[in-house]
Structure 1
Amino acid sequence: MPTTLMEPAPAPPASGATPPPASGSAIPSRPKRSDADISVAEIISRARARVVAPVSKTPWLLSTVSAVALWASFTPLDFGPLAWVALVPVLLLVRMPQATRKMYLALAVGGWLFSLMTLQWMRLGDPAMYFAWAALAFYVGLYFPVFVGLARIAVHRLHVPLLVSAPLVWVGLEYARAYIMTGFAWYYLGHTQHHWINLLQVSDLVGAYGVSFLVMMGNACVAELIPASAFEKLKLVPQSTAEETARLDRPFGAHAIAVGATVLSLVAVLAYGSVRRSQADFQPGPRIGLVQGNFPSSLKHEENQLGRIWQTHRSLTGLATRQQAELIVWPETMFRWPYPALDPTLSEEQIKALHQDLSLEFWKDTQAEKSLRDMSEASRAALVIGADVFAGDQEGMRVYNSALFFEPGQGLAGRYDKLHRVPFGEYVPMRELFPFLATLTPAAGGMGLSAGEHVHVFQHKDHRLVPLICFEDTVPQLVRAAVKATRDENGKEIDCLVNLTNDGWFHGSSELDQHLITASFRCIETRVPMVRAVNTGISAFIDGDGVIREPNLFLDFDAMMKQPVDNGRADPTRPVATPVDARTSMRDPKTGRYHKELNAVLVSEVPLDGRTSLYVRWGDWFAGLCLLFTFGMLVVGLAGIGKPRTPVLDLAA
């Protein structure tokens, strides 16, 4: 029952006062009640009704600071330590008692700013990609407000500590992003720590998501230590809420628990990484030569450049052969002539009906296969070549982005068609419903590519290799599934992942570095080494610890072409003294950065790894639990389950 103020007894009427009206006369309107006539409960109710969300420009500042700091944590600045505090400003918006007006709009703009700066390399691919850049940046930027909204539900409705709720929600959203709209598993928070090798080894238990969880845990720990006075100075609480503001100050014990839990988690992960690295016993595997041409995609599609591209890659193959490479890998689609693959059971009428612009002679031309078979024979080495395959069979014609495997003495020994296509880069989603979308892709004629059906294993002598094309090495669930699906009858996993990539779209930008960083996590997750042949770079050998290894030989073809001529022509395969300006390492010794945009050959033995991975066996159990928690917060928010803490009152409003 509400407690009411006592009403005073009525006083007798003064002399000469007007008597009360007689019975049956008109009754005057009831006088307005004074505050003394209102119950305490009603006063509180009115005060609450007057409360409005505080208006503050601080969320705009905090979201911008986090956006810039997070961008600086990734390439090109690559200042990884900053990632441990980059999201503290955003987490203050999770802790604050009451959301401010337009706070989520500020977070969305901050997220879009981060994504625009981070993904700026997309615009370099093709003028049509400006729209895709803006659209993808908008989509990725939405994760900022969604994260804060779901984390606030966990903290303020269910009272889950920020140290727990923030990492769970963040990783759950990263996992969702790996699948939504075919997935975009780039720029995970854990990728910022690629230099801290021991920290990364937990990925063979829980994937790269475990590293993201730990880094967000560090951010949440710092955010928990921010005192209430800072919220007042930042105007994140109303002026007259001293009692509510005081709740933002945690007792010393809570601070000690947060710091202790974070430090212990970090120490445990580092200890695990040290133990796992000590168990590695890398054995030399096949000697592989990686061919790296330097042809921007604008040149790649010019017909007058086809001969030059072919001759350069043949010369680079010759260099690898002279260095006893037994397997030579070309980048994605750098065999520039169409490679027809025709079902031999088709009749001539069926062949002609496959495509109106492709003649019978095109389908029966074997020159492409003969050229690659002859090159394999001449080099006495197996070849993995990236090519566009035109396949014709009973179901019709399809175009694939493929890896062709040639063995000397055998010819074509295998073919892998890319499974994971890039939206608006290799195919147009919903093109049948919205034909205008075809103008938003650089794919020729907007036709796009077909997706392959399954993973292939290339058997080279005693070694089993699984090819990956382009961005497939950035998709954790795809690489894990490929490794798990290709175990032999004895349960032995593959020996090496072979990635063929064309990063010539991006003109030496930070995309090349980030692509390499993201790919290195796949090696830790699966404990399988990877070799990468990349047009314009960065080609690399990566071991099962995710370490990018310096090759046995790094041959700078561009410098070799500047050497003195022999009988009127340069011979890059002739052993001569190395020119003074030739690069002999993957990295610039002055800056430590990788060389890009050059013709080169890398030759080395693959470091075979005998360790196994629980991540391959169990999959994304950890990230799945985080996603389940995140989805639970969404349900709580939509259903109104749980009660938020006492609303902030501003009785002076």
Structure 2
Amino acid sequence: MTLAFPAVGWWAMVFLAVPLSLVSIIGRRWGGALLVGFLYGAAFFLVNVSFTARYLGPVPWLALSLLEAALTAVAGLLLMWAYRWTPRVLPGRWGRLIVLPMLVAGLWTMREQWLGSWPYGGFPWGRIGVTQVSGPLAPVASWVGMSGLTFLVVLFCAAAIEYVRLGRARDLRTALPAVGLLLVLVVVPAFPTTAAGSMRVGSVQGNGPAGYFDQRAAGDLLDAQLSATVPLIGEDMDVLLWPEGGIDSDPTARAATAATLDALSERLDAPLIVNAATTRGDEFFNTSILWRAGEGAVQTYDKIHPVPFGEYVPDRPVFEALAPDLIGLIGREYTPGRTVPVFDVDGVAVGLAICFDVIYDDVIWAAADAGAEVFMFQTNNADFRGTDENLQQLAFARMRAVETGRAVVNISTVGTSQVIAPDGSVIDGLAADEAGAMLTDVPLRTGLTPAMVIGPGVHVVLGWGSLLALGAVGVLARLRVSPQRKTAPSRQRNGAAR
């Protein structure tokens, strides 16, 4: 499964990995299902999120990976029960070929949603849907979203497994569910959003010392961004975009920084979208700022999902007692934002996400609902230099373009940065660990894709709906077994009397 994710990105590997994972669950008892689920989760997450050990060592990496593996193990029980109970309730071939695969796919998707929402807001990182961004199934995400695409991929795999398990290869009707679904997945085009002109965007990757442990003096990050912006001076643009962590002081509180941004905005004759840590009262925020010369911060958006154990420490006294040195590194406690992630830039609605905000569906839904015509994502990947993290996050950005039918400008402090078309293809880009600037005519789009309209409903149906369906199947399976147990002794007695 790890091979399906960047940097390798072999999207087709999911069609091998998912069946192998499911087959290993079938027929297990609860102990075996827990063990298999844990081993699968550990093998996957220990590699997939190994970037978390880049600077902080093995403790955060092992803690996150093994927690995700434990949750995966618990969810493996649900899959085991689905395979055990459904054939008892629906023993016919269509129950095996249609109902069972749908239940299994729903429970797999529910597992992704569970890991992506709990604990402490979850970490929706290793989702199957995102692996398909470079494959022929990507357009389907514009209709059903990333979770819906996960469901359909697993549904095909589970249906194919049941076709083989039934052992009726000569009866071509038994292949219809899997083959029919595959044809739909391959043939369905992306939902067409409506062209609404273009926006000329300058975006700058300063490649400054933006990591936690990078050696730097005050103002070094701002200076790096300013130096990389120089080639754009004198160019015509509608807005200049800088990444997360591009400014190392609060321009809303520090006059010198505000004056620097004023001068830059005036020279460019364009507003700026920048990012900085800001303070309001006793609270800290990770803030995107729309800045205009002479006006300052005319609009702000605070990151909705600060990273637990990165930007704040939940239950700090507990974890500080366990790992005081590591927890002590996290000095600030960022507060979650409460504003809509959209800026109005001279009449153009710009959707926003800050770093890991991009992996949370609710941020994208909120921006789409607010009329975003283009998305601009600001991120800082400096703490993960030399790993696949920036490419995995970039895959999310590309899939968000497909889901929303919108172009995306994904700008990083250190890379990889890209301008992405509404179909997920790359318009422009900057390599990692190099300073540079892009000036791009970015297409604008209007109209909501079905994925944006039904996205919250898909989560509810595939999440809670799958659990309710499994519960119903379990009750029916028990009711079916109970009468058989009651009649068995009477049959034996009657046989003895005869």
TM superposition score category, shorter chain reference: 0.7 to 0.9
Within 2, Cα distance between the matches of 1:367 and 1:94? Answer: 61
Change (3 A) 1:440 1:617: farther
Matches within 5 A, 1:60-139: 70-96=1-27, 98-99=28-29, 102-127=32-57, 130-139=58-67
| Gap runs ≥5 in structure 1 | 1-69, 227-247, 342-364, 487-492, 552-584, 587-594, 648-653
SS at match of 1:536: coil
Q: Specify the alignment match of 1:573 in structure 2.
A: none
Aligned residues of 1:474 and 1:518 also touching (Cα < 8 A): yes
SS at match of 1:194: helix
Change (3 A) 1:378 1:384: same
**Letter of the 2:419 counterpart:** F
Matches within 5 A, 1:145-544: 145-159=73-87, 161=96, 162-181=100-119, 182-197=121-136, 199-226=137-164, 249-252=166-169, 256-273=172-189, 276=191, 279=192, 282-298=195-211, 302-304=215-217, 306-341=218-253, 365-392=254-281, 397-432=282-317, 435-436=320-321, 439=324, 445-484=330-369, 486=370, 493-544=371-422
Residue 257 of structure 1, CA deviation = 4.2
Residue 280 of structure 1, CA deviation = 5.0
Within 2, Cα distance between the matches of 1:632 and 1:281? Answer: 38
Within 1, Cα distance between the matches of 2:474 and 2:178? Answer: 31
Aligned residues of 1:426 and 1:443 also touching (Cα < 8 A): no
Change (3 A) 1:444 1:326: farther
Aligned residues of 1:200 and 1:208 also touching (Cα < 8 A): no
Q: Specify the alignment match of 1:596 in structure 2.
A: 432
Aligned residues of 2:421 and 2:443 also touching (Cα < 8 A): yes
Aligned residues of 2:156 and 2:181 also touching (Cα < 8 A): no
Change (3 A) 1:401 1:258: farther
Moved more, 367-376 or 404-413: 404-413
Change (3 A) 1:73 1:258: farther
Moved more, 517-526 or 326-335: 517-526
Within 2, Cα distance between the matches of 1:221 and 1:638? Answer: 21
Write the deviation string for residues 510-558 of structure 1: whole angstroms up to 9, x where unpaired.
Answer: 111110111222223232322111011121112322x23223xxxxxxx
Within 2, Cα distance between the matches of 1:437 and 1:483? Answer: 41
Within 2, Cα distance between the matches of 1:141 and 1:281? Answer: 42
Write the deviation string for residues 128-162 of structure 1: whole angstroms up to 9, x where unpaired.
Answer: xx322212211222354334421232232132534
Identity %: 22
| Count of residues paired in the alignment | 472
SS at match of 2:154: helix
Q: Specify the alignment match of 1:8 in structure 2.
A: none
Change (3 A) 1:256 1:209: farther
| Gap runs ≥5 in structure 2 | 88-94, 486-498
Measured on the aligned residues, the alpha-carbon RMSD in Å equals: 2.9
Moved more, 628-637 or 325-334: 628-637
Within 2, Cα distance between the matches of 1:632 and 1:456? Answer: 33
Please identify the structure whose Cα radius of gyration is greater.
1
Residue 281 of structure 1, CA deviation = 5.3
State the TM-score, normalized to the length of structure 1: 0.66
Write the deviation string for residues 234-285 of structure 1: whole angstroms up to 9, x where unpaired.
Answer: xxxxxxxxxxxxxx543347x73453222222222333325x3xx4554542
SS at match of 1:426: coil
Change (3 A) 1:639 1:373: same
Higher helix proportion? 2
Residue 422 of structure 1, CA deviation = 0.5
Q: Specify the alignment match of 1:549 in structure 2.
A: 426
Write the deviation string for residues 333-355 of structure 1: whole angstroms up to 9, x where unpaired.
Answer: 221123454xxxxxxxxxxxxxx
**Letter of the 2:199 counterpart:** P
Aligned residues of 1:291 and 1:601 also touching (Cα < 8 A): yes
Change (3 A) 1:605 1:283: farther
Change (3 A) 1:163 1:541: same
Change (3 A) 1:642 1:180: same
Q: Specify the alignment match of 1:142 in structure 2.
A: 70
**Letter of the 2:172 counterpart:** A
Residue 208 of structure 1, CA deviation = 0.7
Aligned residues of 1:389 and 1:399 also touching (Cα < 8 A): yes
Moved more, 294-303 or 207-216: 294-303
Aligned residues of 1:340 and 1:391 also touching (Cα < 8 A): no
**Letter of the 2:68 counterpart:** V
Within 1, Cα distance between the matches of 2:148 and 2:70? Answer: 22
Aligned residues of 1:438 and 1:447 also touching (Cα < 8 A): no
Aligned residues of 1:339 and 1:390 also touching (Cα < 8 A): no
Q: Specify the alignment match of 1:613 in structure 2.
A: 449
Change (3 A) 1:535 1:548: farther
**Letter of the 2:167 counterpart:** R
SS at match of 1:202: helix
Change (3 A) 1:293 1:643: farther
Within 2, Cα distance between the matches of 1:501 and 1:338? Answer: 17
SS at match of 1:337: coil
Residue 601 of structure 1, CA deviation = 0.9
Within 1, Cα distance between the matches of 2:328 and 2:143? Answer: 38
State the TM-score, normalized to the length of structure 2: 0.86
SS at match of 2:316: coil
Q: Specify the alignment match of 1:360 in structure 2.
A: none
Change (3 A) 1:644 1:436: farther
